[in-house]
Amino acid sequence: MFNLQKKKESSFGVVSADDDQDIEILKYKRASKQGLWFESLRLLRDIFLIVTIFTLLIVFVVQPVVVDGSSMVPELHNGERLIVSKLVYYDIKGFSLGHIERGDIVVFWFPDDPDKSYVKRIIGLPGEMVEIEDGVVYIDGRRLEEPYLNEEFNKSLPDGRSKVKPHYYFVMGDNRDNSSDSRYWGLVPEKYIYGKAFFRYWKPSNLGFIKSGDPQLLEEDIENPEEDEDEEGDDLRAEND
Structure confidence by residue, pLDDT tens digits, 136-152? 999 999 999 999 999 88
User: Are 38 and 85 contained in the same domain?
Assistant: no
Look up the CATH number of the domain holding residue 165.
Answer: 2.10.109.10
pLDDT (mean) for 85-106: 88
User: Are 126 and 199 contained in the same domain?
Assistant: yes
User: Are 52 and 147 contained in the same domain?
Assistant: no
Q: Does residue 225 have a pLDDT over 80?
A: no
CA nearest 185: which of 133, 105, 114, 125? 114
Q: Does residue 220 have a pLDDT over 80?
A: no
Neighbour tally for 15: CB within 10 Å: 8
Query: How far, in Å, CA of 184 to CA of 46, rounded?
Result: 50
Q: Does residue 9 have a pLDDT over 70?
A: no
User: Are 52 and 91 contained in the same domain?
Assistant: no
User: Are 94 and 174 contained in the same domain?
Assistant: yes
Q: Examine residue 9 and state whether it is found in any structural domain, yes or no.
A: no
User: Are 53 and 168 contained in the same domain?
Assistant: no
Query: How far, in Å, CA of 104 to CA of 175, rounded?
Result: 15
Q: Examine residue 41 and state whether it is found in any structural domain, yes or no.
A: yes
User: Are 113 and 170 contained in the same domain?
Assistant: yes
Domain coverage including residue 44: 27-58
Per-residue pLDDT of 178-209, as tens digits, reads 999 999 999 999 999 999 999 999 989 999 99
Domain total for the chain?
A: 2
Could you tell me if 74 and 146 are in contact, meaning their C-beta atoms sit under 8 angstroms apart? no
Mean pLDDT, the chain, whole residue set: 83
Q: Examine residue 8 and state whether it is found in any structural domain, yes or no.
A: no
Q: How much is the pTM?
A: 0.73
User: Are 145 and 228 contained in the same domain?
Assistant: yes
Given this model, what pLDDT does residue 25 score?
Answer: 56
Q: Does residue 230 have a pLDDT over 70?
A: no
Active site positions, annotated: 71, 120
Q: Does residue 78 have a pLDDT over 60?
A: yes
Q: Examine residue 172 and state whether it is found in any structural domain, yes or no.
A: yes
Q: Examine residue 95 and state whether it is found in any structural domain, yes or no.
A: yes
Of the listed ranges 73-87, 93-107, 159-173, the one predicted with least confidence: 93-107
